[in-house]
Amino acid sequence: FAIRHLSAPAHLGLSTVRCCSLNSGSLLAANARQSQFGSLLRNRLQSISAWRQRHPPVPLVVAPPSASPVWHPMVAHLTAGQRRAVGIWLATCAGMTAGAVVLGGLTRLTRSGLSMTNWSLFKELPPVTQADWEREFQRYQAYPEYEYIVRERGSMSLNDFKAIFWLEFLHRTWGRAIGAAFLLPAAYFWARGRFQPAMRKRVLIYGSLILGQGLLGWYMVRSGLSKDTLTQDVPRVSQYRLAAHLGSALLLFSLFTWSALTHLLPFTQFGAAVALRGRLAAAAHLLTSAAFATAISGAFVAGIDAGLVYNSWPKMADRWVPTDYWALQPAWRNLFENASATQFNHRLLGHSTACAVAAVWLWAVAAKTRGAALPPRTRLALNSLLAVVCTQAGLGIATLLTYVPIALAACHQTGSLALLGTATWLMHELRRLPK
């Protein structure tokens, strides 16, 4: 509308307003423009609707918060409090097993493992009087390690012997404490009907592994007390027995961790992402196996002090593969007895494990961009695994470059437990729902 303001004659003393009529031509043009805009809008909305029909949005696959938790049939008969009690017991056993591995690494690094020259399952008490200490020290002096220490340092006092004796005694006592912490609650829970038949079998396996650990530990120590096992006049336990001792401890730790998680955490519900769960579960099994194999290769490195050769990174004396990799005959011995080869193998396994974890993490991130987001707890486990493997790789490199100081080497061994435990957690998160 056009409004025209006109002034009235001055002598009237007021103003008047006159509205002009609509221009018929302008009205028709406005109607035409409105009709054209409406037609364009309808066409655009129809195009958007057709595109959405061809490309429907992919819903997030996170299970709804209201979904009721699903527990493993082995623990479904328990109340929440009972599940929690058994889970905390198993988690405690897993933590104590990890502590035994760390203590065992310290005894190896400080050369304390051969200070106790006899073994008894129940009747193993420390010396009390001065005469007891002197008798124990005299027994130690009859074995090759004492001769080696005197040759290297010039002498060894009774106080020096006490220091390494107490560390080995602590390691053995800690192992017995694991047995007690496992056996007494297991007997109680068994009597109270907390275990289904499947869990009873697991409890028997765990108990057998704990007992076997003690026997295998003494079998390992015996190999270092004999002059027949000396390597270049250096007393060492057999690296094969050391790897077996560590491997059984890591297996026990993983089994405790798995069963503890089964009692403490329900199944993760993936909803429509079942296919993604299956592929990630296969990858998690491979990552856990790689972490375990890397830790076992570390036992061979520690067993022959292979960490003290080629203290450079990423190359080994300006070469990617050491020139003396195949120095021993027959060739298979290089994998376990050649210091250069065992260090190279440990590096290769460590690098491969770190790259594999990073690849799986990137795969999960790419799946999220396509709408297949992992559940929060599974995503946390995967993120934690990436952080742990990066930390562990950094610790390994630092330990190598600084010529294996005790503190760093102990942290590196602890990192291997954290890596294996986190990989086991991720594998547990990706379990298949029971049918």
> CA distances (Å), 78 to each of 72, 85, 106, 145, in order?
11, 10, 40, 53
Phi, psi (rounded to 5 degrees) for 6: -120, 145
* Summary mean pLDDT of the chain: 87
Residues 211 and 186 sit within 8 Å (Cβ to Cβ): no
Indicate if the pLDDT at residue 274 is higher than 90. Answer: no
Q: Dig out the tokens for 144 from the structure.
A: 């090759």
Residue type, 376: P
> Minimal CA–CA distance to 77: which of 199, 183, 239, 217?
199
Residue 4's pLDDT is 39
Max CA-CA distance within the chain?
A: 137
pTM for this prediction = 0.83
Residues 90 and 253 sit within 8 Å (Cβ to Cβ): no
203 strand-pairing partners: none
Model pLDDT for residues 3-45, shown as the tens digit of each residue: 334 344 444 343 443 444 445 556 556 566 667 767 777 777 7
- Please tell me which residue, 38 or 154, carries the higher pLDDT value: 154
Residues 419 and 284 sit within 8 Å (Cβ to Cβ): no
Model pLDDT for residues 60-88, shown as the tens digit of each residue: 444 444 458 889 999 999 999 999 999 99
Buried b / exposed e along 175-185 (16+ C-beta atoms within 10 A): beebbebbeeb
pLDDT confidence of 236, banded at 50, 70, 90?
A: confident
